[in-house]
Each structure stands twice: as C-alpha cells, then as structure tokens.
Amino acid sequence: MAQKWDKLSTSCIICGAPYGKYGEFRLVAQQPRGFTIGEPGKPRIAGKGIPSAEAELEDGTVLHAWGELSEPEILEKLVEAVLNREHPWFCMKCGHRVCSECGAPLEQPPGSDIIGDDFQTCHVPIFPIPYKCTNPSCPHSK
C-alpha cells in the first residue's frame, strides 16, 4: 500500500531543527529510533528494550514508531504530518550522527535509512572506517 506524499516535512520531527541545520540528510529509521508505515500486524520489530508504539492511519495502514519517536507527543506529530501528506524525518543530531568533537554533522549517517527529495529511502551502511566531520576547522574532518 503506497503512501502518497506531497512534500517532505520542513523540520526535524524530534527537535524541530529546520532542514539543513544538521547536514543534508533526512533520517527515517535507525536501530534505536525511527518509524515505518505498513500493514496492520506487521510492525518492524524494534530492538530489545526499545520502546515502540503504533498509530492506525485513516487508510487502514499502521504507523509504527520506536525509540524517541514512540513518545506520545512525537507520535502525534508523526501522524499529523502523514495525514497532511508530509513525509516526516529526523535530523543527524537526533540520530546521533554528529561529530563527537565539535557537534557538526558527519559526512554520512551510517546505519540509517534516509529519505531523498524523490521520497525514495535508501540505507547508509556501517563501514569499518572512521567517519569524517563536515566542519573544515575540526580535526575529525581530516
């Protein structure tokens, strides 16, 4: 059941940061936090010990959220965005993909599903190499 989208949300569903504040990537799912929309009764299983919640949508599909996104006020915002045909996402900061040294976003968000301008999601794998910081004056950018 394909969801129809008019646009991507303009800001992070968790912290409200506008797009671009923490890098160019929009995150939708990681092991510790995220959301999916699917058939009832087939939720993506959140990892052990990770809180999760579901909300039924008007078309009979179910929004399944886990981690911080399952908190009632964020779940409510997720549902509201989806009903407005806006695709929600969360930022690199909320996805813990910022530099440990300076707080700038990393070049890539490893271990995350991201969504592009075309509403296509793709997965950024975890590579066994250090991730570079996007702040040119930070030692981690070298």
> What does the binding site for Zn ion look like in residue numbers (CB under 5 A)?
12, 14-15, 17, 91, 94, 99, 101-102, 104, 133, 135, 138, 140
Task: Count CB atoms within 10 A of the CB of residue 111.
Answer: 18
Least gap, CB of 42 to Zn ion (angstroms): 28
Least gap, CB of 14 to Zn ion (angstroms):
5
Q: Which is nearer to Zn ion, 15 or 83 (CB)?
A: 15
Instruction: State the Cα torsion 64-69-121-44 to the nearest 10°.
Output: -30
- Cα separation, 49 vs 32, in Å, equals 9
Pair 22, 91: CB distance under 8 Å: yes
Total number of residues shown for the chain: 142
Q: Which residues contact 134 (CB under 8 A, 6 or more apart)?
A: 23, 99, 104, 105, 106, 107, 141
8: phi then psi, degrees, rounded to nearest 5? -90, 150
Q: Which is nearer to Zn ion, 57 or 102 (CB)?
A: 102
Nearer to Zn ion, 49 or 136 (CB): 136
**Minimum distance of Zn ion from residue 4's CB (angstroms):** 25
In the complex, minimum distance from the CB of residue 39 to Zn ion, in angstroms, rounded to a whole number: 28
Nearer to Zn ion, 40 or 116 (CB): 116
